[in-house]
Amino acid sequence: MDCLEFVGLSNIVISLSAAGATCIAGWGLKSWKDQKIWEIDHELARRVLMNLYLYSDAIKNVRHPFILTEEMSAPLESKGKMKIEHIPFLRSKMLYENRLKNLHNVRTNIYVDLNEATAIWGPTIAEKFKPLFRLQTHLESHIRMYSSSIDPDIPDDKREKYHELLDGRPDILSYFPEEGNTFTSQFISAMENLEEDLRSRLGRRV
């Protein structure tokens, strides 16, 4: 092999080595990007799923039919002198206000994560939360009517109308998964739909 042939062969080897190094570098970069995408998806799905469980617990807490000891011991607030007949109403009013406050805090956290999830995954995930949020709206409407039905400052005839409206509605203020409890069955169905979506994203690979 003369000098020119050797130089030509060396150039070919160098070119192939460079091309191989470029391919390896490109593959490594793609793998790194895929890993980062998976990590972002995994962490976001984990956060949304955890907040979903906290939201479910907060809904159950609002619907809980029993008053906890710490809720009973909380001081009542009233404008002016408190009448005896106002105590049950004020206790119930404060109870639901505090429970709903906790629910609203959890929902705020969900909104923060949903904004990020929508930007990354698209609007599908936010759409799947809408059935849960609609049920929350029904729950809060039911609580407002219930509070009005026991408010001693509201005339008897109006309170009776609220009672009639409540009698014609499903039992919302009870989270027990009894057969025929429409609110519970709808909430569980919407939860399962979201869980399936989020759990699939926990193990997602690009």
pLDDT in tens, 82-133: 677 788 888 888 889 999 999 999 999 999 999 999 999 999 999 999 999 9
Dist CA 199 CA 46 (whole Å): 8
Q: Is residue 203 predicted with pLDDT exceeding 80?
A: no
Q: How many domains does the chain have?
A: 1
Please report whether residue 91 resides in a domain: yes
Residues ≥6 apart with Cβ < 8 Å to 56: 187, 191
Asked if 149 and 70 touch (Cβ cutoff 8 Å), the reply is: no
Structure confidence by residue, pLDDT tens digits, 25-35:
455 545 645 56
Please report whether residue 154 resides in a domain: yes
Q: What are phi and psi of 117, to 5 degrees?
A: -65, -40
**What is the pLDDT, as a whole number, of residue 4?**
47
Q: Is residue 134 predicted with pLDDT exceeding 90?
A: yes
Q: For helices 124-149 and 156-167, give the axis angle rounded to 10 degrees.
A: 140
Please report whether residue 98 resides in a domain: yes
Q: In three state form, how does the secondary structure of 114-143 look?
A: HHHHHHHHCCHHHHHHHHHHHHHHHHHHHH
Dist CA 181 CA 155 (whole Å): 31
Please report whether residue 23 resides in a domain: no
Please report whether residue 8 resides in a domain: no
Quickly state the pLDDT bin for 206 (edges 50, 70, 90). Answer: very low
Asked if 68 and 102 touch (Cβ cutoff 8 Å), the reply is: no
* Sequence-distant contacts of 156-163: CB under 8 A, at least 24 apart: none
Side chain identity at 1, as an amino acid letter?
A: M
Dist CA 105 CA 100 (whole Å): 9
Domain that holds residue 86: 43-202
Please report whether residue 122 resides in a domain: yes
Please report whether residue 132 resides in a domain: yes
Please report whether residue 114 resides in a domain: yes
